[in-house]
Amino acid sequence: MANPPIRPSAHGGQGQLRIIGGEWRSRRFAFPDAEGLRPTPDRVRETLFNWLAPYMSGARVLDAFTGSGALYLEALSRGASMALALDLNANAIASLRKHLDTLKCGQGQLLQSDALRYLDTQTPTPFDLVFLDPPFNKNLLQPACDLL
């Protein structure tokens, strides 16, 4: 499947995200500016990860529609033992691969893959936490939940 077209932006074609907690706290990363690609806002991530704090250390995490990778990188920063990120956008996956290299992180796995196809065809893998934040207006949440 072709990647969505990348839109030029006023900030040079890149969005920014900040890791808000854990080992890489305050690190900033760029992500490709593409339609529908947006990081989960800092305040939402802060609340979410405060709730998840008792479960994060050593967790195996799946981020099925990773996009900018904000939830994926935050989980790794906060002690996940392994995280798998899925996204169709090759530019987003390539960007995240560079971020993992910069962070010297070996616990992160990346697949350029359709999340629904992955969930439907892969041998069930135990994950402790699964993030499902699919693109808006695509009606992918319920099918993803059904496959889980």
pLDDT band at 37 (very low <50, low <70, confident <90, very high): confident
One DSSP character per residue, 57-105 reads TT-EEEETT-TT-HHHHHHHHTT-SEEEEEES-HHHHHHHHHHHHHHT-
* Amino acid code (one letter) for 148: L
Of the candidates 30, 38, 28, the residue with the CA atom closest to the CA atom of residue 65: 38
Domain boundaries, the chain: 14-147
Q: What is the mean pLDDT of residues 24-33?
A: 91
pTM of the model: 0.86
CATH fold group of domain 14-147: Rossmann fold (3.40.50)
The two three-digit tokens of residue 34, written as one number: 């593409």
What pLDDT was estimated at residue 15? 84
Q: 71-128: per-residue pLDDT in tens?
A: 999 999 999 999 999 999 999 999 999 999 999 999 999 999 999 999 999 887 899 9
